[in-house]
A and B are shown apart, each in its own frame.
Chain A
Amino acid sequence: MPIKVEIISPEKVLVSRDVDMVVMPGEEGDIAAMPEHAPMMLLLRGGTVTLYEGETPTDHYFVGGGFADMTQTRCTILADEAVPVTEISIDAATARLEALTEAWESADKSDVSRLEGLMSKIQSVRAEIDAGAGG
């Protein structure tokens, strides 16, 4: 029995189809959604979502953090941003990483919430570069 996966970014729906398994990057570790999984809501970190048909991974998407909502029959991923791994531009991502690193260096070190926000962005962009290089 397949599970219906939807990957949605604020601008549009990227994926909406039936697959056998979805592996996604949870904030506290990767997690797989399979049919009949207990309903669960989780926070995602920047990383790659992989769709499986049978045992073989078919598609990889990069998500820059977000939320996932899974039930027994479906899995909805609300991504802050999402791109197919094949379309990642490593150059653009590297430029973003540099800009973020600069912002990090110049940021007020006592402003913890801002630092945390920057750090999670930096990690997300690093994950994007890794995903792009690997795919």
Chain B
Amino acid sequence: MASLKELRARIGSVKSTKKITSAMKMVAAAKLRRAQLHAEAARPYAAAMRRMLGELAGSMTGQDGLPQLLAGTGNDRVHLLIPITSDRGLAGGFNSNINRTTRLTIRRLQSEGKVVKLLPIGRKGYDYLSREYADLIVDHVIGVGGKEIPFSAASDLGAKVTALLEAGQFDVCTVIYNQFRNVMSQVPTPLQLIPLGLEEAEAKPDPNAAQYEFEPDEQVLLERLLPRNLQVQMYAALLESAAGEQGARMTAMDNATRNAGKAIDRLTQTYNRTRQANITNDLIEIISGAQAV
């Protein structure tokens, strides 16, 4: 049995762990609120963008020479996966869920005979994937999920992806990110960015609405809107992931704090029992010593 001194030290160390986890929980809660506000504030832009794109794509369906960003390259051979993870750990299953989903997707695609390329975002995903699939990684981005995510981070990413597409590096591009359901649950979700699912973008033209005029013309507008849309989608995924990270960390730290509390209770009980046993022992020794005299 552990000595009293050892027990005291353990209780002390669990207590300070509990202090840390509960502080991290508070911090995550505060950051979560901010991240959620950000994610919500970015929604109207994405929604308006989708509406315009739908209108535009609707008026252009059936035409030839649609940009690659919309229609893809016509092939389905090389897949680019973009898993979004956080840079920091201690967030429960947040990163490992993404990593697992990514690994399963890679296996599935490879068994179908496709070529897979990776562009991991976030340190955790990069570290994990570079162990097993180092040769598949074409590029990686670290340090995006900081305090606030500027839109420029998403536009840089978008530019990177567009450049790869133009260089003929891939045919299909899918982002895998944690969708923020609520504080307790983040769902790893694949989102195909290129080619853009036309069913989604396709407008159901309102028969009563007047025909749109376009300036300068449809082609130019589409060429400008599509890269923008890519960036906006990326931005939305980054923000959702950031909110999810804080949510996951908050839940994880809440659990850790509760567990530490339980461990302290258990250790305190053992400590008290040991102390009692020691006292009893001492008394027995004294009494039997006195009787012997």
Could you say which of B49, B56, B215, B224 contacts A28, with CB atoms under 8 Å apart?
A: B215
Residues on A with C-beta less than 8 A from B108 are: none
CB-CB under 8 A for A10 and B214, given A41-B56, A67-B225, A76-B48:
no
Is B44 interfacial (CB 8 A cutoff)? Answer: yes
What is the chain B residue whose CB lies nearest that of A72? B210
Chain A to chain B contacts (Cβ below 8 Å), 26 pairs: A6-B44, A9-B45, A10-B45, A10-B154, A10-B231, A11-B42, A11-B45, A11-B151, A13-B41, A38-B213, A39-B212, A39-B213, A40-B214, A41-B212, A41-B221, A42-B214, A43-B216, A43-B220, A67-B52, A67-B221, A67-B228, A76-B52, A78-B45, A78-B48, A78-B49, A78-B228
Interface residues on chain B, size class: 20 to 34
Measured in the bound complex, the distance between the Cα atoms of B214 and A41 in whole Å is: 5
Measured in the bound complex, the distance between the Cα atoms of B228 and A9 in whole Å is: 12
CB-CB under 8 A for A42 and B215, given A11-B42, A67-B224:
yes
Minimum distance in angstroms from A3 CB to a CB of chain B: 15
Mostly, the B contact residues are helix
Chain B residues 16 to 56 lying within 8 A of chain A, measured CB to CB, are 38, 41-42, 44-45, 48-49, 51-52, 55-56
Is B111 interfacial (CB 8 A cutoff)? Answer: no
Chain A residues 9 to 55 lying within 8 A of chain B, measured CB to CB, are 9-13, 26-28, 31, 38-43
> How many chain A residues have a CB neighbour from B under 8 Å?
24
In the complex, which of the residues A12, A41, A42, A71 has the most CB atoms of chain B within 10 Å of its own CB atom? Answer: A41
